[in-house]
Amino acid sequence: MQHTFKEAKRYYSSTPFDQRWDDILSSLAVLGRMSRGNRVVPFHDSAMAFESMWAAVKGAKERVHWQTYICKDDFIGQGTVRRLVQAHQRGCDTELLYDCGGNISGRARLTGELKLCGAKVIPYRPFFRSVATYFIKGLDWRRSPGLRNHRKILLVDTCQGFCGGLNVGNEYCGKAAGGTGKFRDTHCGVVGPAAAHLAEVYRDTKQPHPWKYGWRRWRQIASQQITRRVKQGRMRMERNGLYRAFQEERGRSGRRLQNVSSASMKVMRRRWHKQKNQLLTLMQWSRARLSSNVLLGHEALRHTQEQSDVRLDGKEANVKVGTVVNGADSHKSNVKAACQAPGLFAVKDANDGETASASLFSCELSTSSAGPREAARAWPSSPLQSSDGKLNAPLSSAMRRKLLAARREALYRATDLPHKRTYTDMLRQVPILDTEPVPEAEMYLQHREPITQVLSCNPRYRDYSIQYAFWQVTRKCHRRIWITTPYYLPTRKLFSALIQAARRGVDVRLLAGSNQTTDPWFMWHASNYITEKLLRAGVKIYEFKGQQIMHAKTVVVDSVWSSIGSYNWDLMSNRNLEVCLCHLDLEVAHSMETQFLRDLTQSVEVRLEDHKQRSRWLRFTSWLFYNFVFLLDRITFRSFANEDVVDVPGAP
């Protein structure tokens, strides 16, 4: 079995970059709104982010909607509210939505002036009221006090928006803008159609609608449930079948099976040969179809010869025939030269469909000095010819070009796939520096327009688009995935995806806070409980040792795809309302990678040898707080159960 797994791993790792990312994007397309033509600006400096948001509020003409988890009554909070009041006095539709879990005592004094001027102030789920309702209503998780709004969204007019990890307060703003700069965070701004998609997420916080993603998303959810149940049934049947086969073999031979490895290799080889035969069949089918769709010129050549034999006589007929023969010979020599030219299968222009098909299959014709009539008979019969030998009305030239281009493209892809896999294997073996992008990234985005997607999750109606998107990207990424998160207690799916990606050679790096730069501090101890499993699999873990507390929530994959938002890779983010803005672009990904490497200069890598030598006290505290987090989750979400967000493996 080990040989089988190695061969399967090699085969999967050699999947071409473009094919891999086309598959990823098709999986992500049903999870959230996608749009093009956006300008995305990441802010790694919190002071610059606040100045940009304040400038946008100052220039607003229609609306200003601000949604945050924490809004403190300090210099930055008061300055933000003052700008909202000014925007409302200019005639803008102004609204402030803050979560009462991050502001337990309320913000009556801070938002008093905003209420007096007529603006909307929405406290999201008052904490103490939700606690009482939770216990009175029988511990229904939909009324749990732990169900919080962790989104940070700012909407300005209809074409500008901001989202990320920044709350409103002195601790979250840099010193250049009047804050203390306690937290190291990342925010982003977007101008374009994606702002309207952020507005949908904003409205979802106030009035969640389970049908907002359309039938494609729910079809996918239903498909996942059906696939899971079918898989469970198959596993049960296979388990019973294998057990019976094992008992029969054991009864016949009196000993256990000894050739499990060779038997599994035979099954794998049989599957590979089947795929190879299918590929050859596809190539032969495409070749036969293209050869049967011969150019109309050859039919016209034979038709012209027949007409010339009937209508012309004597010397005039000989002159005509000689002219046609010379033309056919010159055409044949041109076709032969075209067949010998390199890059034959790389012709993709639909306008050259007729020439390409002629040059592709004319080499099989005899190059003897036969006349035009014999040369025409050498070609296979065309579908344009009826049973009586007369020429039917041909297809339109546009339709014929489209058919030939489609068949040529299918043949090109089928014949080019083995070469792409070999090329991919060679590139994966070439080491690249951290400052260099993935080699195939620039080529992939050269002819693709940047794509922006807004992802959100809301446990009220079991929508976990962010978790599912991260799972798809992690398990299918090509070369590297760099994650920045304050702490890590991922779901079981994400945990397995990280381990599998690291084992197949992907550069998986996890940057989190240390015991001095993690808030809350006990989450560092809880995360350490699963650190050893990640290190054994090959995941590189770094602890941020800078002067700030790590609060950024970013992901950058293969130098092409980036995510900035409010989702922590932990337990509570699976119970909260979150939002992420994902962008497929080389420049934004390069900016994210540069900031990640800049943070690594202030970080220390966690070594497996050092982690094993930690004291018994640290081992005990890790176990204690890990179980404490799950105990707290069981209390606040007593009746919650969902297989899509089953939590970290190893939980008691």
Q: Could you read off the pLDDT of 379-406 as tens digits, one per residue?
A: 444 443 444 444 344 556 777 777 777 7
Helices (H), 515-640: 522-528, 531-537, 586-600, 608-612, 616-636
Residues 328 and 402 in one domain: yes
CB 148, CB 142: distance < 8 Å:
no
Residues 371 and 491 in one domain: no
Quickly state the pLDDT bin for 366 (edges 50, 70, 90): very low
For residue 593, give its domain range.
440-645
Q: Is the pLDDT of residue 305 over 60?
A: no
Quickly state the pLDDT bin for 318 (edges 50, 70, 90): very low
Higher per-residue confidence, 79 vs 14: 79
pLDDT of residue 642: 65
Q: Average pLDDT of 274-280?
A: 67
Residues 112 and 62 in one domain: yes
Q: Is the pLDDT of residue 312 over 60?
A: no
Residues 475 and 391 in one domain: no
Angle subtended at Cα 385 by Cα 384 and Cα 387, rounded to the nearest 5 degrees: 140
Average pLDDT, the chain: 76
Residues 55 and 111 in one domain: yes
Residues 192 and 327 in one domain: no
Residues 59 and 152 in one domain: yes
Residues 206 and 351 in one domain: no
CB 92, CB 64: distance < 8 Å:
yes
Q: Average pLDDT of 157-177?
A: 93
DSSP summary character for residue 347: -
Q: Is the pLDDT of residue 12 over 60?
A: no
Look at residue 271 and tell me if it is in a domain.
no
Number of Cβ within a 10 Å radius of residue 109: 10
Least confident span in 118-132, 418-432, 519-533, 571-585: 418-432
Q: Look at residues 162, 196, 212 and tell me which one is the last residue of a structural domain.
A: 212
Rounded to whole angstroms, the Cα distance separating 256 from 249 reads 8
Higher per-residue confidence, 25 vs 312: 25
Q: Is the pLDDT of residue 56 over 90?
A: yes
Look at residue 150 and tell me if it is in a domain.
yes
Look at residue 24 and tell me if it is in a domain.
no
Look at residue 15 and tell me if it is in a domain.
no
Look at residue 202 and tell me if it is in a domain.
yes
Higher per-residue confidence, 294 vs 149: 149
Q: Is the pLDDT of residue 21 over 80?
A: yes
Q: Which amino acid is at 618?
A: L
pLDDT of residue 250: 52
Look at residue 526 and tell me if it is in a domain.
yes
Q: Look at residues 155, 187, 212 and tell me which one is the last residue of a structural domain.
A: 212
pLDDT of residue 389: 42
> Max alpha carbon distance in the chain (Å)?
111
Which CATH number is 42's domain given?
3.30.870.10
Look at residue 21 and tell me if it is in a domain.
no
The pTM of the full predicted model, rounded to 2 decimals, is: 0.69
CA separation, residue 17 to residues 105, 445, 494, 591 (Å): 51, 11, 22, 21
Higher per-residue confidence, 219 vs 642: 642
Question: What pLDDT digit, counting tens, does each position of 529-565 carry?
Answer: 999 999 999 999 999 998 999 999 999 999 999 999 9
CB 332, CB 365: distance < 8 Å:
yes
Rounded to whole angstroms, the Cα distance separating 36 from 192 reads 8
Q: Average pLDDT of 226-248?
A: 59
Quickly state the pLDDT bin for 491 (edges 50, 70, 90): confident
Q: Is the pLDDT of residue 52 over 50?
A: yes
Q: Look at residues 186, 212, 238 and tell me which one is the last residue of a structural domain.
A: 212
Least confident span in 57-66, 205-214, 343-352, 527-536: 343-352
Q: Average pLDDT of 130-135?
A: 83
Q: Which amino acid is at 434?
A: D
Rounded to whole angstroms, the Cα distance separating 261 from 61 reads 70
CB 442, CB 586: distance < 8 Å:
yes
pLDDT of residue 647: 61
The string over 560-584, giving b where at least 16 C-beta atoms fall within 10 Å of a residue's C-beta and e elsewhere, is bbbbbbbbbbbbbbbbbbbbbbbbb
By percentage, how much of the chain surpasses pLDDT 70?
63
pLDDT of residue 414: 57
Higher per-residue confidence, 1 vs 60: 60
Q: How many separate domains does the chain show?
A: 3
Residues known to be catalytic: 150, 152, 157, 551, 553, 558
Residues 507 and 402 in one domain: no
CA-atom Rg of the chain in angstroms: 33
pLDDT of residue 353: 40
pLDDT of residue 295: 46
By percentage, how much of the chain surpasses pLDDT 90?
38
Residues 395 and 459 in one domain: no
Q: Average pLDDT of 148-166?
A: 93
Least confident span in 29-33, 110-114, 246-250: 246-250
Higher per-residue confidence, 369 vs 413: 413
Higher per-residue confidence, 229 vs 576: 576
pLDDT of residue 361: 37
pLDDT of residue 19: 84
Quickly state the pLDDT bin for 453 (edges 50, 70, 90): very high
Residues 491 and 454 in one domain: yes
Higher per-residue confidence, 47 vs 108: 47
Residues 187 and 143 in one domain: yes
Higher per-residue confidence, 467 vs 360: 467
Look at residue 362 and tell me if it is in a domain.
yes
